[in-house]
A and B are shown apart, each in its own frame.
Chain A
């Protein structure tokens, strides 16, 4: 789960990291009121789950009240990478001397949390990684020992030469690791970590993703979920424990397993169709999931045919069949349904479908070819 900058900053502040104050505005009036309370120059920052906000014009410096109003009016309602801006963060501007980058994430290869830091922070950090890889320093933290003091100092030494700054940065890196582990994060990024003209090290921007699988341990963090940042159908899918991503085609896909779901979409394309969505009903076998899945697919008015492709493993075909039959009696499904059902308990599943008047294909190519044909005809 991605969270907003202002939420990530709350978590960082709570672990002791120096973060400038800031408040959220949803209207230009609110933005002006917050700026007036701070006095002086402020930054107005779009709060969306996307990088590249600055480059998109979603981050502006405002020296006067009228500038605050003007920028807030422009930024609120702006679209950045498909997300509409509904909130801005208003925060006092800092006198920046230098900008560094500090990130920590779960690294697949090292199988542990890994820090990436660079003295050359700012918006072009990926370009730095490309053109000057030596400017990027990495450290993998052994989960059994945690981040050791000398390691935090080692990272801090690669950022600054002044011992006073190194000391502040080492402390921040330690606090960042604590925030990472205690919130069950999969990624936290401070970019930039600045040194002010007065010689203070501060985090003035933050990006953070939480591990969905660990959220059950952190009910307070669930409050950070921003439903406006995801389409309604995806919210419904998440609540039903399904993965759903809407696409632009007209063949609605309902599949078990992410790999098979993607292969089904690829095959729809292969036979000349366009998938309307990615939908994985997951590895469990709950008829209710199938019902939710069909409700979500039919909520997309582009869908001309519903293609169900189930290869039972831990998912049992009889449970899926019961879900399909139950769904067709409980909700009004207009598009025709084509089904492929094979694997664990397929005989029982096929019998349940036959009784309700459905037939099913046994091959994936056949069902996809038929589904694409019907989508084209319909």
Chain B
């Protein structure tokens, strides 16, 4: 029998402010008369969620802000009830939804340990038995009889974390509590969490924006989007899907913000017709895989014949940092351009940049280096992440093929599958 079961669960919140007492009275009168009632638009935080979790699973929940993660946890912790459907939880839940809810500033650390632990459902005898351990973990031995309103915020959080993680429960719900305190304490918290998760066979639900952490700790990951479970499966796969979706969202936003930001100058001798990105088959596209071929085709109309003009094609980031540029000035026998439409292709066999949004620039100079045409943000394109993006080091700009030798033994890092092949 699953320990947690959700049957077509939906949760609506009403948007806007609460109705005033006047409106409520008016609505009641209308309802009594059988007239239609003015209603506020509901916001669907969870939409027909249906899944179950077995005893002992460690489930990560990921999703963008507003995807419904916190609402889901609140439902499981019984803090709120669903609008439709049924939530069945067969076990004691320890919600570490927000450490420190219920700390009372006027009470001393000691009094707060007892109060907060009781609120979390630990019996008095248990707290007494674990009191020293809690205090030792929070490193507050000399401050335990001081009212916690005189604590620093770090001290408060340490105390709260120590209390919260001493709860014994079948189901543990953790909402981004790991990022507390200084680095040393964070590591300690992390170890404590791992101990709670791995050691005891508890069922654990973790919500975090730290995808790597989720990937490392969980046996299963749910990806939420607009209140729905859009993916449910192995951590690596779901995390990768999430990563790719966020990337798409970011580039869509970038594109939107860059539209109309085309910087163009023309002497009138040249008019731009089109700038396209081409894939391997020569079809127009908007994205290329990491390390894939970058092929840019520029078409332009020449109004006055140009002798041996210099053509420059390059790329830049969305904040106009110039990344690459190549010029035909290096080519001795470059052609003269007569009046008419011409086509130039610029091909980089392996474009060595990590996933992200980039732009194309294009310029033409005459043989005396006079500027005939320049343009930026002429085409916006995306470099897609690879399927193993999630495992790679986070801080980097370049995508370079690598080889490793560890203790003299060659290790080939698996060549990541280009994302297009992995797309479902």
Q: Do A and B bind each other?
A: no
**B contact set with A: CB distance below 8 Å:** none
